[in-house]
Amino acid sequence: MAWDIQIQNIAGIRSGTATLEPGSNAIRGTNWQGKSSFITAVETVMGTETELMEGAAEGTVTLSTDDDTISVRLVRDAGTVTRRDEPVLQSEKTRVAASLYAFLDDRNPVREAVRRGDNLESVLTRPLDFENIDERISELTREREQVERELEDAETAAEQLPETQETITQLESELTELEEQRETIRNEEANERSVSKRREELSELKAERETVEQRLTRLERSVERTREKLASKRSELDQLDVPETDVDFAGKIAEREEEQEQLERDAELLQSIYAPVKRILDEGRLDLITEVEPDVLADDVTCWTCGSDATREEIEQNLDALSDRISALRTQTREYEQEITNLQERRRNVEQAARQKEDLEAEIAELESTYNERETSLEHARKRHEELQERIDSLSETVERNDVELTEVKSQIKYTDKQLEDAREELDRLETRATRREQLETEREELTDEIHRLRERKTELKRRTREAFDEAIRDILSRFDVGFEMVRLTPEFDLVVARDGREANLTALSEGELELLGIVAALAGYTAFDITDDVPVMLLDGLGGLADDNLQTLIDYLEDRAEYLVFTTHPENTAFEQHTIDPTEWSVVSPQREALSD
C-alpha cells in the first residue's frame, strides 16, 4: 500500500509531494534539492521531529493511504515550535526507539555516539527508561511483602483453628451448665416476694447514692474553686498599695487654679499695654500720643502718662522691662498649670486605688459568703451520703444472702456468653484468613516471577543487543569490503575494533567504516527492542562516506528490515532498481540550507 506524502514549510521544503512504495525508496538528487528535508518531513509525520521551515509560522506534513489520512501541523509560538496533531507513532517510547534505531539520518544519536567513540549503553538501552523497571520492581516488592504478611497471617490462622474450635465446644458446655444452675435458683426463690421488694428498694437507694455522689463531686470542685479564687483575691488585696495622704487635693487644686487665673489676667493686662506701645515705637509714631523734640543724640519725649521728660531709649528700656515681666508671668502660669496637672494625677491614682480596694473587699465578702454556703451544702450532702451508705450496707447484707448466688451465676452466664460470641467470631475470622492461603501463595509466586522477569529484562535486552550486534557484524564482514577484521560490543557497551590482529582505535577507521558501524549499532537496538511491527519505516541519510558499492550492499541488506525503506542518494551513485523519488519539482528554501543538510 503506497504512502502519498504532502509537505508544506517543513525543514528546507516550502512545498513538495512524493509517493513511497512498499520496499526500498531512493530519493535521488543533487545537493540543495531537499533530500534531507524530506527525511525530516517523514520523521515529522511519524512524531520524532518538529523542524519548521525558518521564518514560517506553521507547516504541515500529510501522509495519505487508501485507508487513512494523517496530518501533522507544526506551529511556531513565541519562538517555540510545537506539534498540534497526533502523529503516526503515538507512543513516546515508540517514538524514542524509532529516533534511535530506525531513523538513521546523520543526526541519529547512535551514529553520533559511534563517531565520537562514546560508550553506547545509554543510547542502546534508552527505551528501557519508559518502562520504569526499577519503580515497578519496588512497587511489586512492596506488594509481595504485603502478600507474604497476609500469607503468614493466613498460615497462623490455620494453625489456630483446632484450638479455637475446642474452646468453643468447652464454652458451650459451660454455658449449658450455668443456665441449668440459674433455673434451679430461680425456682427456689419463686415464692419469696420480700426478697424482690428489698432488691427494688436497694436499687433505688443505690441510684440515689449515685446522684448524691455526683452532687458531692460537683460541690467539692465548686468549694475548691471558690477557695482558690478567695485566696487569689485576698493575695491581690494584700499586694494592693493604697497611698495614704492628708492632702486636700480639691482645695489645693482650686487654690492653684485661682492663682493661675490671676497670673493670666495680669499677663493679659500688661500685654494690652505692651503691644500698642511696641507697635507705636516700631512704626516711629510717638508723635501721635506725645510731643517729640528731635535731638542729635536722642529724641526728647514727653511721657504721655505722667508728663515728665524722657528719651526714646528710656521708653524702649522700660518697654523691654515690661516684656520681661510678661514672660515671667507666663512662665509662672505654666508652672502652676503643671502643678495642677500633677495634683490631678495624684488624686486620680489615690481614688483609683481606693476604688480597687473597695471592689476587692466587696468581692472577697461575696466569695466568703458563697464559700460558707457551699461548705454547708457539702456537709449536708456528705451527711446524706453517709445515711444512704449505712442503709445500703444494711439492706445489701440481707439481700446478698439470697441474691449473691444468682448474681454470680448470671454474671458467669453473661461472661461465658460473651466469650463464646468472641470465640465464634474469631473462628469465622480464622477460617476466612485460612481459606486465602492458596490464593496468596499463587499471588506471591506470580509477583516473584514478575519481579524476576523485570530484573532480567534489562540484562536480557543488553544480551540481545550484543548478540544482534555480533550477528550484524558477521553479516557486514561477509558482505562489505572493510578495513577491519572484527568489531565487538563489550558487556560495558564499548566498541572494540580488531585490525591486523590487534586492537585498534576507532579513530583509525575511515569515515565510511564509522558510519557503517553506527548503522550496525542502531540495528542492534532495532532487533533487541523488536520495533518492526511498531515502526513501519526505516530512514537513511548522510551516507556520503560510504563507497558506491557499499551503499548498494547496505540497501540490499536493509530492505527487508521494514515495510518501507527510504534513503538518499546522489546522481553520481549507481542507479538503484528500487522506486526512485525525484525532488526536482519541490520548492526548497535555498541552496545554502540544503548544503548544510545534505
In whole angstroms, what separates CA 572 from the centre of its chain?
Answer: 63
Residues 6+ apart with CB under 8 A from 149: none
Q: Which cell is 385 given? A: 451520703
Q: Which cell is 325 given? A: 515681666
Residues 6+ apart with CB under 8 A from 533: none
> For the residues 423-448, what does the mean pLDDT come to?
80
Q: How confident is the model at residue 126 (pLDDT cuts 50, 70, 90)?
A: confident
Would you tell me which CATH number, out of the four given (3.30.499, 3.30.1490, 3.40.50, 3.30.60), belongs to the domain 11-31+93-130+457-597?
A: 3.40.50
Q: Burial-class residue 207 by CB neighbours within 10 Å (0-12, 13-18, 19+).
A: exposed
- The Cα 200–Cα 217 span in angstroms is 26
| Per-residue three-class SS string for 31-81 | CCCCHHHHHHHHHHHHCCCCCECCCCCEEEEEEECCCCEEEEEEEEECCEE
Residues 6+ apart with CB under 8 A from 527: 464, 465, 468, 471, 472
Domain ranges of the chain: 11-31+93-130+457-597, 213-433
CA proximity to 41, closest of 89, 1, 9, 78:
9
Q: Which H or E run contains 23?
A: strand 23-28
- The Cα 129–Cα 66 span in angstroms is 36
When mean pLDDT is compared across 240-244, 258-262, 455-459, the lowest value belongs to: 240-244
- The Cα 55–Cα 11 span in angstroms is 11
- The Cα 366–Cα 362 span in angstroms is 6
Residues 6+ apart with CB under 8 A from 345: none
> For the residues 341-358, what does the mean pLDDT come to?
80
Q: Burial-class residue 151 by CB neighbours within 10 Å (0-12, 13-18, 19+).
A: buried
**More reliable by pLDDT, 245 or 553:** 553
Quick check: helix, strand or coil at residue 486?
A: strand
Angle made by CA atoms 491, 495, 498, in degrees to the nearest 5? 115
pLDDT of residue 298 exceeding 60, the answer is no
User: Percentages helix, strand, coil for the chain, rounded to the nearest 5?
Assistant: 65, 15, 20
Reported as a single tens digit per residue, the pLDDT across 499-543 is 877 887 888 788 888 898 999 999 988 888 888 899 999 999 988
DSSP states along 494-552? -EEEEETTEEE-GGGS-HHHHHHHHHHHHHHHHHHTT-TTT--EEEE---TTS-HHHHH
Quick check: helix, strand or coil at residue 568?
A: strand
pLDDT of residue 300 exceeding 50, the answer is yes
Which of 16-20, 376-380, 391-395, 483-487 is predicted most confidently?
16-20
To the question of pTM greater than 0.75 for the whole model, the response is no
**More reliable by pLDDT, 405 or 566:** 566
Give the per-residue pLDDT at 301. Answer: 64
DSSP states along 331-352? HHHHHHHHHHHHHHHHHHHHHH
- The Cα 102–Cα 531 span in angstroms is 9
Number of H helices, E strands in the chain: 12, 17
Q: What is the DSSP letter of 575?
A: P
Give the per-residue pLDDT at 594. Answer: 43
Reported as a single tens digit per residue, the pLDDT across 316-333 is 788 888 888 889 888 988
pLDDT of residue 17 exceeding 90, the answer is yes
pLDDT cut 90: percent of the chain above it:
22
pLDDT of residue 108 exceeding 90, the answer is yes
Reported as a single tens digit per residue, the pLDDT across 402-412 is 666 767 777 88
Q: Which cell is 21 given? A: 512504495
